Amino acid sequence: MIPDNVVSASELHRIFQLQRSHQYTAKNSTAAQRKAKLQKLKDVILANADAICAAVYADLRRNREMAQYTEIYATTVAIDDAIAHLDEWMQPVAVEPVGTSAGTGEGQIRYEARGQVLVLGPWNFPIQLVLSPLVPAIAAGNVVIAKPNELSPHCSAITAKIIREAFDECDVAVFEGGIDVANLLLDQPFNHVFFTGSPAVGRVVMAAAAKHLASVTLELGGKNPVVIDATADLVAAAGKIAAIRTMNAGQLCLCPDHVWIKREQRDAFVQTVGAVLNKMYFVDGKLNADALGKIVNERNFARVTGYIADAVERGAKVAFGGGSDPVQQLVEPTVLVDVPVNANIMRDEIFGPILPVLVYDDLAEVLDYLQNHGKPLAAYIYSKDQKFVERFLANTSSGGVTVNGVLSHASDATRLPFGGVNDSGIGAYHGFHGFRELSHARSVFTCA
């Protein structure tokens, strides 16, 4: 590990120039060579599985089973998919011959490497969301510098170890550190920047990339709504929403952020959610801290508990939970009702285990609100009425949608594109969509 205080501009510049001189070698690598690099990454990840789980627990108190799924499996399944399909992805795509002003000929689309790529990871899924973007970057023939997030220091260290064991630094290099290191990296003229994090920091990254006219992939977040209509199965909806809202202590960009439900159904829904949360996280009335996980640091703990206090001060009621422990950085799974739309919790992405439940009488009320509050990363609909679903889809916009479920559109890690729109992100990846995102589609026309 290179400590933050010894990451020098000269060392970073050395690596950047090394990769610049190597980028065309990487671009011209064969499918077999790229697949070998990906297989080596998978092998190193699996060899470090115990250390990965220990690091995730140390930083986020996430249990081993969840760490194995979110950090290891989610990455290795992407590697397996790329290895299985890379020969096909790399093939030029023939275009039907047509006549032009210059005569007849044949056209092709060739997917070529973007060149030098910077990957900046987040702290909430700190290993997967650095290593997973490497998969399409390598598959597309790029060279990469990665920076794990400093707010998850144990995960940053193991991520750096994995990258150094798996790759030659001319292909993939890694720098640990804080904002100063991120700024040094953003000063370099990368061809593409892949950032996962908050919209606020995404704007900073995009502005830095603009100085070099670099393309960007921004995987951000947003206020992911759930809309439940009168035909929905409330028990099924409550179970899934409660589980995912509190996954990783609510620190997940795809979490259901707030629920809209018919006025007459609210109390039954809230009661069911409370019963689910009680069963999931409490033993004899005591919160199981290991089952829930912790808020990442003191600043975010204060932010999350502040949302509850502000909402209650403005008239909201705590229907379940509401407690917290600053020593363990724990916030109980909490359900709020009667939340005014001007409360801070309705303005900011929550990133904590709190679920505001709002009521509506007509879908038009919900659509009007959503149309005037940005485009989220995800939207969730519970309904057996296809006309209701189609009306929602036609009058809203989001990165993705799951109908009668939560997360499903994003958990398909090989076929559906994953990404946001406007405030919730730019670009998309997973499977071939990631290969294409980290490639330049180059037009080639050969005259007859």
**What residues are labeled active site?**
219, 253
Beta strands across the sheet bearing 439-447: 93-100, 103-113, 439-447
The partner residues of 400 in beta bridges, in order of sequence, read 378
State the Cα angle at 307 between 305 and 311, rounded to 5°.
Answer: 125
Euclidean distance between CA atoms 323 and 332, whole angstroms: 5
Show the tokens assigned to 150: 């400093």
Residues 333, 353 contacting (CB under 8 angstroms): yes
Strand 425-426, strand 282-283: pairing: unpaired
Residues 356, 256 contacting (CB under 8 angstroms): no
Q: How far, rounded to the nearest angstrom, does the alpha carbon of residue 201 sit from its chain's CA centroid?
A: 14
- Backbone dihedral angles phi then psi of residue 115, each to the nearest 5 degrees: 125, -115
SS3 of the chain: the string is CCCHHHCCHHHHHHHHHHHHHHHHHHHCCCHHHHHHHHHHHHHHHHHCHHHHHHHHHHHHCCCHHHHHHHHHHHHHHHHHHHHHHHHHHHCCEEEEEEEECCEEEEEEEEEEECCEEEEECCCCCCCHHHHHHHHHHHHCCCEEEEECCCCCHHHHHHHHHHHHHHCCCCCEEECCCCHHHHHHHHCCCCCEEEEECCHHHHHHHHHHHHCCCCEEEEECCCCCEEEECCCCCHHHHHHHHHHHHCHHHHCCCCCCCEEEEEHHHHHHHHHHHHHHHHHHHEECCEECHHHHCCCCCHHHHHHHHHHHHHHHHCCCEEEECCCEECCCCEECCEEEECCCCCCHHHCCCCCCCEEEEEEECCHHHHHHHHHCCCCCCEEEEECCCHHHHHHHHHCCCCCEEEECCCCHHHHCCCCCCEECCECCEECEECHHHHHHHCEEEEEEEEEC
